[in-house]
Amino acid sequence: MDLDAIRRSAQQEVAERLAGLAETMAEATRLREQAMSSTASAASRDGMIEIWVNATGTVIRTDLDPDTFRDRRPDELAAEITEVAQAAASIVRGQVEATLAEIRALADPGDLMGKAAALPGFDSLTTAPTPSTDPPESDRRRFR
């Protein structure tokens, strides 16, 4: 094999690896957007209280049945709302962590993506930025 053939082969290999890296980074970005658009809800045992949270567990909607106020003292209602909000936050934490784990799995230390994981900025794909406080049904929550 002559030097030109070796050079062309090396250039092709580099181009293929870079294309693969670009695809993987695009997938990581898509997964991150999916994670940050996550919402979850939880309801009280009787279904009279429902709370929605965003990807960080911030409450974005609270639905209370009008009869909720008749059946509970204020301290009971407060405790139940807190319990439901915590349950919703726990659910969304699991969803977000599962998606971020998919991103981390893309970074095989033996390949170019694994080496890219060591580059500045990669960590930002696997950590949670401040998500939206838009309601769960908002068009802005639909990821690509």
User: For 95-141, how does the pLDDT look when each residue is reduced to its tens digit (9 = 90+)?
Assistant: 998 988 888 888 765 655 555 556 656 666 656 555 666 667 777 66
What is the average per-residue pLDDT within 75-94? Answer: 93
Cβ atoms of 30 and 36 within 8 Å: the answer is no
Structural domains present in the chain: 3-128 (3.30.1310.10)
- Residue 128, pLDDT score: 56
pLDDT beyond 50 at 58:
yes
Residue 115 token pair? 């080496």
Q: Given this model, what pLDDT does residue 40 score?
A: 96
pLDDT of residue 28: 85
